[in-house]
Amino acid sequence: NAGVTQTPKFQVLKTGQSMTLQCAQDMNHEYMSWYRQDPGMGLRLIHYSVGAGITDQGEVPNGYNVSRSTTEDFPLRLLSAAPSQTSVYFCASRPGQANTGELFFGEGSRLTVL
Amino acid sequence: ILNVEQSPQSLHVQEGDSTNFTCSFPSSNFYALHWYRWETAKSPEALFVMTLNGDEKKKGRISATLNTKEGYSYLYIKGSQPEDSATYLCAFRDFGNEKLTFGTGTRLTIIP
């Protein structure tokens, strides 16, 4: 039972490079989201999706793009990486709209931008 | 941006002692309050999801209470053990909103 799978676990980028963080879940969850975690800041929501074809911005969306072409996958794209995007990124999912259920988190992706 | 605050930021507790910490959140338009336990080098795992004013939930030595009218929740740990060392996060969701807003957490260290 894989749950929420994130890849890669670690990545080093140079300023201006682009990359995609992958997130996949096998629980048929409608809701998926990306958070970043920085010291003293807690988890801050970047983007989220309530179902395939639907995405919306969270608290800190600038510099990031997302898409949701399938229920299972929710990739996070950095088009031109900046040092301020050095962080640990977590993907999380839960069942659909009316459900108050818990979030299930991936293991995190540590990104360093030089 | 919703204001979710946790106190204290960090706490050192002797093994065997009991402890508690607080999460405060907006008292209007409440939908759900979550507690998560986050061990170093792992990902957060849910402890409780609370939805009703006056809710009390328990899992082993850990319990939580909820007051939606005044906008706070307490997490209690009874007879602390070294394995309780972790950061405890609360997260608030208001009605009609899909997003969970997290507090910055309480970092608990149990001293053997």
Q: How many CB pairs under 8 A join A and B?
A: 53
Classify B95 as helix, strand or coil: coil
CA B102 to chain centre: 10
Query: Does position B108 have pLDDT exceeding 90, yes or no?
Result: yes
Disruptive mutation site among B98, B101, B106, B107 for chain A (greatest number of A CBs within 10 Å) = B98
Q: Measure the CA–CA gap between A11 and B24, rounded to whole angstroms.
A: 36
* pLDDT given at position B90: 97
Please answer whether residues B55 and B30 qualify as being in contact, where contact means their C-beta atoms are separated by less than 8 angstroms.
no
The predicted-structure confidence for A64-94, as pLDDT tens digits, reads as follows 999 999 999 999 999 999 999 999 999 999 9
Mean pLDDT of B26-44: 92
- Give chain A's mean pLDDT: 93
Asked if the Cβ–Cβ distance from B46 to A103 is below 8 Å, we say yes
Which residue in this structure is represented by tokens 């007051």? B67
Mean pLDDT of B44-67: 95
Asked if the Cβ–Cβ distance from A33 to B99 is below 8 Å, we say yes
Disruptive mutation site among A41, A100, A107 for chain B (greatest number of B CBs within 10 Å) = A100
pLDDT tens, residue order, chain A (114 aa): 679 999 999 999 999 999 999 999 999 999 999 999 998 888 999 999 999 999 999 999 999 999 999 999 999 999 999 999 999 999 999 987 666 678 999 999 999 999
Q: Which of residues 38-97 of A touch B (CB under 8 A)?
A: 40-45, 48, 50, 56, 58-59, 90, 97
Share of chain B above pLDDT 90, in %: 85
* pLDDT given at position A99: 66
CB count within 10 Å of CB A85 equals: 20
The predicted-structure confidence for B2-22, as pLDDT tens digits, reads as follows 789 999 999 999 999 999 999
